[in-house]
Chains A and B, each alone.
Chain A
């Protein structure tokens, strides 16, 4: 195996990779450029490619003239609440599924898998009727519950595979030393599963932050998360692309940064199941 020359590598690998990366980030980069171009200039000469024409004008208008920060807070409450509810009920469930063999285990796992496949449109209509009946339409708790329809099954599956990877002998040793089951779970398994729990939590946060259809249908008036708010930035008579782009960039930023921070571990967990097969 002779080492290929640098020139050959650049031609056959670096340049094609650059093209793929450009394809992947080009549209978002274009939106960032749009958000940096002041509206007057945008309609006169189009998006400014040179830093000379850039300003934070659109961002300042976004923060001063709209309630975007308030919308971010709504999104934060909903996404944070979904993470807490999703993780709390899923950790014990995942522990049971990975440590015990009991009648009905398979059907319960099947149930959680099946739930994730249901079309959101089938759930959204009855949830609307249900939430209206019990009066939690357009509230944080309502949207947290709605997002949990996705978060809980996902968390149960991810955590089951993380906890199954922790040797069972460890909790058995703890129990011989006098711990009860629950103590073994809390003192031995939880700390070891923490990296998995954190990345599952972050993934739930990203999904809930980015969620749109539930937010639009089950919230939207008092509780208006970022994804719904961005769309209202469309002006009344003509579309304000500069402002809209600024909203898009700010709204997408938290989830994107989190994703980049944890991508390696997250992808490890997500692909594990697929690769084994």
Chain B
């Protein structure tokens, strides 16, 4: 980090009195101290805990097991199931949110009289608490009285009621649909902001040259919003990967292990069995896997800050 400050300001800094050179650090101290205590200290604690066999209700049996928890994890079939679900979970949810968000943004970018109202209403799913969203969709998916089965039966798409959340084959996809619904407004809003940054003159020039609206979309709109799509997409991958409150309330990870993702598995292990050693080992492993994506996002954002 020594190359951060180019030499001229560094020399100037040498000349300034000590008091004013320490000023920024003093101003930063409270925020940095609080984050150290409530984020970094627990983080280190988690790493340490993952090397112990620690079950919270029998503290006397705590012992150091080295990489024991991690070895156990590699042999644990539920870990691999959860990892697979996490991949499906991210791989379906983020593209679906992005696609739906793109459609919504393109529509909301057009000119119509009630555009302001429509733009406000579309973000409502984003503002609702996850618990409310999860319970609301449980009610919609309810096998006997849920409205989804009623509608699909009425339209003759299905012929008998479907137990959306109780069927191990369907449950994960039903939760993914809910999360898609929760997250698409975020993309819509981000993409909308990107669309408004594309100069209108580019479209005018293209239509004078006789470009169809499809070609305008491919050659002007998409390149124009590509940076937004990349940033929003990365942010959402991280967010969706971490998000487990909706699954937890909708299915609790079940039926069986059908909707276990990695963070949820870690949480359930620690919460139900109070097996903190193994739970944190899962959480640490998940964090390391996610780290690759986080690194890409951070490099992008810090480059942004440089400019």
Contacts and interface: CB of A to CB of B under 8 A. Distances in A.
Interface of A: 1, 9, 13-14, 16-17, 20-21, 23-25, 27-28, 30-31, 34, 42-43, 46-47, 85, 88-90, 92-93, 95-97, 99-115, 117-127, 129-130, 145-146, 148-149, 152-153, 156, 181, 206, 209-210, 212-213, 217, 226-228, 230-231, 241, 244-245, 248, 251-252, 255-256, 259-260, 263, 267, 270-271, 273-277
A100 B23 contact: yes
B71 interface: no
**Interface of A (DSSP majority class):** helix
A156 B122 CA distance: 28
Nearest to B280: A125
Nearest to A277: B227
A125 B145 contact: no
B197 A127 contact: no
Contact of B181 (A23, A130, A274): A23
A30 B140 contact: yes
Contacts of B96: none
A90 B264 CA distance: 31
A127 B38 contact: yes
B129 interface: yes
A152 B190 contact: no
Contacts of B147: 30, 47
Nearest to B270: A125
B39 A149 contact: yes
Contact of B45 (A129, A145, A156, A245): A129
Given A24-B185, A119-B286, A248 B122 contact: no
Given A119-B242, A123-B42, A252 B1 contact: no
A13 B103 CA distance: 11
Contact of B46 (A34, A92, A125, A210): A125
A267 B271 CA distance: 36
Pick the 7 closest A-B CB pairs, nearest first. Answer: A126-B42, A259-B127, A210-B129, A93-B31, A96-B27, A271-B193, A100-B24
Contact of B302 (A95, A97, A109, A244): A109
A113 B302 contact: yes
B157 interface: no
Contacts of A20: 103-104, 107-108, 118, 122
Contact of B135 (A112, A206, A231): A231
Nearest to B264: A121
Given A125-B46, A125-B279, A17 B9 contact: no
30 contacts: A17-B108, A21-B122, A42-B145, A90-B31, A96-B24, A99-B24, A100-B23, A100-B24, A101-B9, A112-B35, A117-B297, A118-B39, A121-B242, A122-B46, A125-B46, A125-B280, A129-B49, A145-B38, A156-B31, A181-B20, A210-B128, A227-B131, A227-B132, A244-B135, A252-B132, A260-B124, A271-B193, A271-B228, A276-B304, A277-B304
A277 B135 contact: no
Contact of B276 (A23, A34, A129, A274): A129
B107 A122 contact: no
B30 to A, nearest CB: 4
A259 B24 CA distance: 33
A20 B101 CA distance: 10
A55 B231 CA distance: 46
A259 B181 CA distance: 18
A212 B267 CA distance: 13
